[in-house]
Amino acid sequence: MKRKRQHLFIDFEFTMPERNVRMKDFFAEIIEVGIVSVVENQITDQFSSFVTPLKFPILSERCKSFLHISQQQVDTGLSFYELVRKMEEFSNNYETTIVTWGNMDMKVLRHNCLTAEVDFPFDAVELDLSMEYKRFFGDQNQTGLWKAVQEYGKEGTGRHHRALDDALTTYNIFRLIEKDKRYLEKPEPTTIGDRIDFSKLLNEFA
């Protein structure tokens, strides 16, 4: 029996160093996760949590200020190993497509798995929706997530740079793009009224 297709909309927030300060061997680590599972066009599950960094557990002032995340929040979050197990659970029962805005989320996840010596948790198709958006609208530059949703005349969900809110906003843009794609593939058939101006026709016989 063919397994159902799931789209997993994922967003991470990462650690960042202080400006103009060189930290030896620093690399970005996941400190917040937001996941939205969509099966057959329905949201079936959502998950959100802070995550404790393994290598550089003390957040920089810049990171706390930019993301509005406190040291206490990440100290009491999931361990990275628990996060990996949670993500494995999400992909167990479905054929999965992972949808992110940009390619950084999966790059950082892969690097974090490598340094933690754990297997990457997904065997899935990966879709960078920002590139899809760029191709679809013919933009020269990649657009930021919330700028993209505003260009659609909509607003983002919740607060920007909160992982679950950004994952939900990514899902909303995905739906808008898919709707536009379907419209372009199957434009509404014109009616006879669209093809003939009946007012002109009637004037000729008047």
What are the tens digits of pLDDT across the range 151-190? 777 776 667 779 999 999 999 999 988 888 777 666 555 5
Of residues 135 and 73, more confidence is placed in 73
Those residues whose C-beta lies under 8 Å from the C-beta of residue 53, and which sit 6 or more positions away, are 15, 29, 30, 31, 59, 74, 80
| pLDDT of the residue at 140 | 63
- pLDDT bin (cut points 50, 70, 90) of residue 199 is low
The CATH H-level (homologous superfamily) assignment of domain 5-19+26-186 is Ribonuclease H-like superfamily/Ribonuclease H (3.30.420.10)
* 144 confidence band (pLDDT: 50, 70, 90): confident
Q: 38-42, 80-84, 187-191 — which one is most confidently predicted on average?
A: 80-84
Q: Is the pLDDT of residue 205 over 80?
A: no
Domain boundaries along the sequence of the chain: 5-19+26-186
- 160 catalytic, yes or no? no
Give the per-residue pLDDT at 11. 97
The pLDDT of residue 1: 55
What per-residue confidence (pLDDT) applies to 34? 98
Residue 87 has pLDDT above 70, yes or no: yes
Active-site pick, 161, 178, 185, 188: 161
pLDDT band, residue 111 (cuts 50/70/90): very high
Of 7, 13, 29, 32, the active-site residue reads 13
More confident residue, 37 or 191: 37
Task: Give the least confident one: 39-43, 144-148, 167-171.
Answer: 144-148
Query: Dihedral angle at the C-alpha atoms of 48, 27, 140, 135, nearest 10 degrees?
Result: -50
Give residue 198's pLDDT: 47
Q: Is 178 a catalytic residue?
A: no
Highest mean pLDDT among 20-24, 60-64, 89-93: 60-64
- Of 30-39, 115-124, 132-141, give the lowest mean pLDDT range: 132-141
| Burial letters 43-81, b for 16+ CB under 10 A, else e | eeeebbbbbbbeebeebbeebeeebebeeebbeebbebe
* pLDDT level of residue 206 (50, 70, 90 thresholds): very low
